[in-house]
Amino acid sequence: MIKKALAIIVGSLFVALGVNLFVIPHHLLDGGILGIGLIAKYLFGVKAGFTIIIISLPLYIFSFFYFREYFYNGLHGLFVSSLLIDLLHPLTSWNIDGGSILFSVIAGGICIGSGVGIMLLNDISTGASDLLALMLSKVTSINAGIIIFLIDCFVLIVGWFAITEVNFLYSAIMVIIVGLTTSGIIRKFT
């Protein structure tokens, strides 16, 4: 239980720092449910973490009936990561990267991918797309990091059409780094 709690806290902190220090300042877009939360933030000015919770609820209800272990483990990850994303939002004004979008793409991708990977290793999800990837991975034996990467690509393409000021190329590179980092962590430690 202590191991899961630490994984939730550390993984969520990595995700929240990656989003607020590197993604939002450069108007980048991630994939999955986080990407949907960022799309909502960019389009409507709503809190990304709160949006992630609202959009994730239907899949969490489904998991309650069919994948109860993932429901309980994921619920904590969802709330902690979403809360930290919104609480650490003031960090978006820090200029930690010196204005370098490439640095932000790499650092943000590694940071978010590490956080997601740490949580997935412990069957914890940060939102609906991670939860969906965990459930599909269990059913199909496909690496959850690969499933997340495919979902991320879909959301990124939707974001590219919905938000003109999103830097698609850099966002795509970051999504690849997130996917490779997540997949690498899962492969190395399982």
> Count of domains in the chain?
1
pLDDT (0 to 100) of residue 73: 73
pLDDT (0 to 100) of residue 182: 86
> pLDDT tens across 73-120, in order?
778 888 999 999 999 999 998 877 777 899 999 999 999 999 989 988
pLDDT (0 to 100) of residue 109: 95
Inter-residue contact 166 to 160 (CB < 8 Å) = yes
Domain range for 111: 2-189
- The pTM of this model reads 0.88
The list of the chain residues with pLDDT below 50 reads none
pLDDT (0 to 100) of residue 148: 75
pLDDT (0 to 100) of residue 177: 93
